């Protein structure tokens, strides 16, 4: 059997010695013509392979270049070097895949994150991205673990839909019609989508929420976790055209129940990553500390990455209404001295990222749950409060990135929902199936959406959302 290897993570996890083992991986460095640092992706740590001088063919040694893939068999012995308990004294080394030292892009030196984005197909082999994507995996696993333990049903909602759940209109069209101008048209010149594959205009989903609500009306508690798409022309560190969303929907929940679940959920999955990715997070903590040292003193974070994560899981989130938040922002020195790009003047203003981060990082210095937003700046499906001005919405704001969760109690009253749809020009005839849930056994229910990449950003300390998804999609970029 060819694959009789031991994962490097497992080999390094014990101080057991004096036994034969086989490891396979990619060469990080080869120094003094005898010490190979080998990594197989299972851990941030390398195993040192000792190729005793004079025991291996010179031609073989010349092929031990950075990036080369090898199989090494030998005896596990105590390590004399610092940083690991054991190393492998090789008795045989086989080259599985050569790597041209002159052209391999991931040389053993510090690369800029922009350079690594341009070489996204190879960036997994660096310490930074190895750690980021191991943490991402753990967080994704923790999502399923959390909801499964609570008895939620995992629902796969469609990627191709005919509805725009958010009313944003910034969607990618899906069509089989020709794009060369020969597509069938109606009398007014518009494209006749009745001739298209689905017989109507369709697009990539922006949310699985509406479909999720249908299932919650039968299973009580469900969640979705899948890709969503926004055709926003946003070249920022916070936006992607393709990203993953976690969207639970719960029957018999009100806004407070919703906020309680979201806070418990965030704390659980962060703690899970801290318990299972200690080495990776320690590395990312040091990486962020080194990055912070390059910034002016006034722009540096007050907490390190691990300190911030511990603070989040160990403290209750601050809860306040949108109205209270507006009063804080309006009367802040930041607003009075016109340090905000968008000044807060009146109630009803849609909060920007700078306002959210001020509340979290400067005022409360902890995550914040904002509730009861003006109905004019929120979606049609949110439950209207008795004041006639606000809706039972909530956002959770996190240090460094602003909004990480958006949710609400859903409007279960048919008359209120249809009236709001009419006011917001949401076509009721296209959402007849959604309205049916209000006609047949409606109940109070709520849900939220969490942008998975923003969560990964928060936990890893990465400053750009393009660095926490394997192959980022953004304007003018779909290379890999």
pLDDT digits (tens, 9 = 90+) for 406-464: 999 999 999 999 999 999 999 999 899 999 999 999 999 999 999 999 999 999 999 99
- In whole angstroms, what is the distance from residue 411 CA to residue 389 CA? 14
Q: Which segment of 112-121, 153-162, 248-257 scores lowest on mean pLDDT? A: 112-121
Please give the pLDDT value at position 168. 56
- In whole angstroms, what is the distance from residue 269 CA to residue 275 CA? 10
Asked whether the predicted pLDDT for residue 189 surpasses 70, the reply is: yes
Q: Where are the domains of the chain?
A: 8-104, 125-171+206-467
Please give the pLDDT value at position 13. 93
Q: DSSP string of 223-255?
A: EEEEEEE------SSS--SEEEEEEEEEET--H
Contact, 68 vs 125, CB < 8 A? no
Per residue in 315-334, pLDDT (tens digit) is: 999 999 999 999 999 999 99
Strand ordering across the sheet containing 202-204: 160-161, 202-204, 173-174
- In whole angstroms, what is the distance from residue 134 CA to residue 121 CA? 16
Asked whether the predicted pLDDT for residue 82 surpasses 80, the reply is: no
Domain spanning 125-171+206-467, CATH class: alpha beta
Q: Which segment of 130-139, 233-242, 283-292, 343-352 scores lowest on mean pLDDT? A: 233-242
How far apart, in Å, are the Cα atoms of 432 and each of 10, 163, 210?
Answer: 55, 11, 12
Asked whether the predicted pLDDT for residue 167 surpasses 60, the reply is: no
* Cross-strand bridge partners of residue 21: 74
The whole-chain average pLDDT of the chain stands at 94
- Domain topology for 8-104: OB fold (Dihydrolipoamide Acetyltransferase, E2P) (2.40.50)
pTM, rounded to two decimals: 0.94
Which residue blocks in 150-294 are alpha helix, DSSP H? 209-219, 255-276, 278-293
Q: Which segment of 70-74, 128-132, 240-244, 292-296 scores lowest on mean pLDDT? A: 292-296
Asked whether the predicted pLDDT for residue 69 surpasses 60, the reply is: yes
């Amino acid at each position: 059997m060819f694959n009789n290897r031991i994962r490097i993570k497992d080999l390094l996890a014990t101080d057991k010695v004096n036994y034969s083992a086989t490891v396979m991986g990619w060469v990080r460095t080869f120094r003094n013509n005898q010490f190979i640092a080998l990594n197989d992706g299972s851990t941030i740590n390398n195993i040192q392979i000792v190729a005793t001088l004079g025991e291996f063919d010179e031609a073989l040694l010349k092929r031990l270049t950075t990036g080369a893939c090898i199989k090494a068999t030998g005896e596990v012995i105590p390590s004399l070097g610092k940083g690991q308990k054991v190393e492998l004294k090789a008795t045989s080394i086989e080259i599985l895949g050569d790597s041209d030292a002159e052209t391999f892009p991931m040389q053993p030196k510090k690369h800029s994150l922009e350079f690594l984005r341009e070489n996204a197909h190879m960036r997994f082999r660096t310490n930074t991205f190895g750690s980021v994507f191991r943490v991402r995996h753990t967080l994704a696993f923790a999502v399923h673990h959390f909801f499964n333990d609570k008895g939620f049903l995992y629902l796969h909602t469609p990627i191709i839909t005919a509805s725009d759940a958010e009313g944003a209109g910034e969607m990618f069209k899906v069509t089989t019609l020709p794009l060369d101008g020969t597509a069938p048209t109606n009398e007014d010149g518009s494209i006749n989508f009745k001739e298209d594959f689905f017989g109507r205009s369709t697009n990539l989903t922006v949310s699985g929420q509406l479909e999720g609500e249908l299932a919650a009306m039968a299973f009580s508690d469900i969640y979705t976790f899948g890709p969503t798409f926004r055709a926003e022309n946003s070249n920022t560190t916070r936006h992607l055209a393709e990203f993953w969303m976690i969207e639970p929907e719960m029957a018999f929940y009100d806004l407070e129940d919703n906020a309680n679940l979201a806070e418990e959920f965030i704390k659980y999955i962060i703690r899970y990553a801290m318990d299972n990715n200690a080495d990776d997070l320690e590395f990312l903590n040091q990486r962020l500390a080194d990055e912070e040292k390059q910034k002016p003193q006034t722009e540096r974070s007050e907490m390190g990455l691990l300190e911030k994560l511990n603070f989040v899981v160990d403290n209750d989130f601050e809860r306040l209404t949108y109205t209270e938040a507006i009063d804080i922002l309006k009367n802040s020195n930041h607003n009075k001295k016109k340090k905000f790009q968008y000044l807060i003047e009146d109630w009803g203003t849609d909060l920007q990222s700078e306002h959210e981060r001020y509340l979290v990082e400067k005022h409360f210095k902890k995550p914040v749950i904002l509730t009861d937003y003006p109905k004019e700046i929120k979606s049609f499906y949110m439950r209207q409060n008795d004041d006639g001005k606000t809706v039972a919405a909530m956002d959770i704001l996190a240090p460094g990135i602003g909004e990480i969760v958006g949710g609400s109690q859903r409007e279960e009253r048919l008359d209120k929902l249809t009236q709001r749809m009419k006011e917001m020009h949401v076509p009721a005839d296209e959402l007849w199936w959604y309205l049916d849930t209000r006609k047949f056994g409606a109940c109070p229910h709520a849900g939220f959406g969490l942008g998975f990449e923003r969560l990964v950003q928060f936990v890893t300390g990465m400053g750009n959302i393009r660095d926490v998804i394997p192959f980022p999609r953004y304007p003018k970029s779909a290379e890999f």
